[in-house]
Copies of this chain bind each other. A is one copy, B any other.
Amino acid sequence: MCLVKMKSYKKELWFNTKNKIEFINITREVENAVYESKIKEGLCLVNAMHITSSVFINDDEQGLLYDFEKWLEKLAPKNLDYKHNLTGEDNAHAHLKRTIMGREVIVAITNGKLDFGPWEQIFYGEFDGQRKKRVLIKIIGE
């Protein structure tokens, strides 16, 4: 148990992916932000700031990332008759895919580090890329 004053820290990460759909391991960038924050005990929020992309935690294994992409295409196919696409967009499917994968993760900070299990890695999931998009890191604690 610790009893101390609160700190907060904010950082943004920027992305502009080569492909429309891409998964990028951002664990190192989040670790750097935790280090910069000097916060030893607290919570770290990492969220996509766009509604066609995702932040999620899973395994950094290339086969699995391929499976995720194929699976998401099955659950939320690109080429269906979406009403949203009548606005001139073609990214309705990206809104749905991001919903499956989630907008955000919260990770505990213990002893100044991300308090992770053995295989947890943080990913940025892009579903409508090839343009500038952001992720927000917000840390509060001691």
Contact = CB atoms under 8 A, between A and B. Distances in A.
How many identical chains are in the complex? Answer: 3
Interface stretch (A18-26, A27-35, A67-75): A67-75
Interface in A98-130: 99-108, 110, 115-120
A106 B104 contact: yes
Interface in A31-86: 37-38, 41-43, 45, 47-51, 56-59, 61-64, 66-68, 71, 75-76, 82-86
A51 B84 CA distance: 28
B82 A63 contact: yes
Contact of A138 (B50, B100, B115): B115
A141 B99 contact: no
